[in-house]
Each structure stands twice: as structure tokens, then as C-alpha cells.
Amino acid sequence: MRRELEWAPALVLALFTLSSCGSAENGATESAQIEDGAAAEVIEADDAAEDAQGETSQEDSRAPDGGESDTDRQVVTTAAAVVEVDDTREASQSVLDQVAGVGGHVEAREESTDDDGRPTYAHLTVRVPAEELNEVIDNLANFGDVTELSESARDVTGTVRGLDARIQALETSVERLLEIMSEADTAEELLQVETTLSERQAELESLQAQRNALGDQVALSTLHVTLSTEPVTEVQADGFVGGLQTGWNALVEFVNAVLVVTGAALPWLAVLAVPGGIATVLIRRRVSHRRRAAQSPPEPAEDPVDRASEYPEGGPANHSGHTATQGHRHPEEEHPKARES
């Protein structure tokens, strides 16, 4: 009996351990199933998006032959017009009123005047409903002479359908991930599902923004209108008159270039004038001093031969004695006649 009681605690501990291991294995199995289910849902959503995009591309390639109606196609239209008017300010206001009347709006506006303050140029960028674009262009002739007109269309049907398919697939994926997240039992499972869900939501929002921008371009066409006053008739550059005009234009351009260079150099000349003037004065003084030194004759050096000729034989001493003797002659030598008498 005592031996049976001694084995009882060991038996209970062993049973507890086995039950704990079984619970852990079941939890791991359930976690793996949840993760596999989430991954499978994401893969299925991505495959669905790719399949939808591929089908869309095939449908677009078969659209011209299949006789698809124009109302189902998505087209981005852009137009530009140049109009010569008498008053650009009045004409631009008329264009803006017309655009507002059909439900459009202004994206950009630019105006300029001449030296006298008269408006001579205006450029407008407006967005109008696609179905009203032709009417707005036709009415431009009421404001002046339409000298240039261009229009281009870009078919984006395939791009729109591809975006719609990817958006739909991602929305399905996000909904499934939300369901899986609500069924998660552990923090690790919840973190993995949330990470995947954040990535899918970010991608979904990016695609939705692209789709909205493309839809706006399809719904509202862009029109660029340039308004200017009537230009002066240009002379063709041929013959005498053409050559004269070409030469005059070249002369005007040269003079303008010289004036520009002169205006740019004046501030520098003003700064360099003071040190340049000082340097010029110093250089002139130095040159003048050298000229004066070159013009003044040098003092002649004393010639030994001339000095010897001044003193007869006997040197300076004899010469001085001789001079003294000559200077004090005897009276009888000075007056020989008086001695004879």
C-alpha cells in the first residue's frame, strides 16, 4: 500500500506533462493553420488581381475588333489654341466665363502688359468636362482669330480596368485578413496578420489614388488657351527688304548685347577706378623722374693731362714759387729803360 502511494505523485506529474505537450502541439497546429490560411488568402487575392489585369489587357487588344462602344472607353483629351484678339484682358475674362458656364474651372492664369501698361498677352489653362470641350473650342472664334489649334487623345481604358481589378482584389484580401485577425489567439499571430494587413492597405490606398487621378483626367479635359494682340506683319527674309531687315535685326541685337555687357561692367569699373587712378599717378611720377635724370648732363670728370698743363715742371710747388717770383719782380727787371738811364 505504501508503494502505491509513493508512485501516485509521479504518475500525476507524468499525466500533467503529457497533457501540456498535447495542448502546445494543438496550439501550434492551429497557429500554423491560421498563418497558412492568411497566406493562402493573400496569394489568392494577388493571383486574382493578376488574372483580372491579364484579362483586361486581352480585352483591350480585342476591343477594336469586338466593336466596343465609345462610351465604355476611357480617353484623356488635351487641347491647345492660340487666338489673336484686340484686348487680351477682356478676351481672357470671356473665356473664363464660358468655362465656368459649362462646369469647368481654371488651373493656371498668366497675363502681361507692354511698356505703356496695355495688356498684350494672356495664357490660360482650364479644365472642362470632356463632353463640353468641342463646344468651348468652337466658341473661341467669337473672341478673335484662332491661328493655331491642336488636340490629342490618349486611350487609358486598359490602365483603368487594370487598376479597378487590382483594387477589387486587394479589397477582398483586406476583408479576409480582418477576419483572420479577429480569430487570432496569440500575440504573435495577431502581429503577423497586422503586418500583412498594413502592407495590403497601403498598396490599396496607392492604387485608389492613381485611379482617382486618372478618372479626373478622363472626366475633365485640359485646354491651354494663349491670347495675344495682333502681331505686326513679318517680312520674309528674302530680297532687298528681307536682307535689310536681317541686317537691322543683327545690329539691334549687337547694340543690345553691348549695352548689357556695359551695364554689367560698370559696377566693377567703379570699384576698380580708385586703385587704378592711384597706380596711374605713381607710374607717371616715376617715369617723369627718370626722364629728368636722363636729360640733365653729368659733371665732367677732371682730366689729369689738363691738370699737368696748368703746372710746369717742378710740380705745384715750383709753379707756386715761379708764380710768386713772377708776381714780385725786381723793379729793374720791370723797367729796363729806367736802369739804362
Task: Provide the CATH topology of domain 73-155.
Answer: Alpha-Beta Plaits (3.30.70)
Tell me: pLDDT of 79 over 80: yes
CA distance linking residue 95 with residue 78, whole number of Å: 17
Provide the pLDDT for residue 234.
47
What band does 333 get if pLDDT is binned at 50, 70 and 90? very low
CB of 147 closer than 8 Å to CB of 205: no
- Residue 119's pLDDT is 87
Cβ burial 30-52 (10 Å sphere, 16+ → b, else e): ebeebbeebeebbeebeebbeeb
Q: Does pLDDT of 165 surpass 70?
A: yes
Cβ neighbours of residue 110 under 8 Å, at least 6 residues apart? 122, 123, 124
Beta strand pairing call for 220-229 and 119-129? antiparallel
Q: Torsion angle, CA of 109/112/118/120, rounded to 10 degrees?
A: -80
CA–CA separation, 95 and 89 (whole Å): 10
Distance of CA 316 to the CA centre of its chain: 100
Per-residue pLDDT for 12 more than 60? no
Cell 476583408 belongs to: 175
Mean pLDDT of 13-38: 47
End-to-end alpha carbon distance in the chain: 207
Q: Quick one: pLDDT band at residue 66, thresholds 50, 70, 90?
A: very low
Q: What is the mean pLDDT of residues 204-233?
A: 88
- pLDDT tens digit sequence for 123-140: 999 999 999 999 999 999
Structural domain spans, the chain: 73-155, 236-261
pLDDT number for residue 47? 56
CA atoms within 13 A on the CB side of 30: 13
pLDDT digits (tens, 9 = 90+) for 199-215: 999 999 999 999 999 99
Q: In the prediction, which pLDDT does 64 show? A: 44
Task: Quote the CA–CA distance of 269 and 272 in Å, as a whole number.
Answer: 5
Mean pLDDT of the chain: 75
pLDDT tens per residue, range 276-328: 888 888 888 888 878 777 776 655 555 555 555 555 554 444 444 444 444 44
Residue 69, pLDDT score: 55
Mean pLDDT of 148-176: 93
Does the pTM surpass 0.85? The reply is: no
- Report in angstroms the alpha-carbon separations of 238 from 232, 246, 249, 254, 319: 18, 9, 14, 21, 106
Give pLDDT, residue 188: 87
Cell readout for 239 is 530680297
In contact, 242 and 236? CB cutoff 8 Å: yes
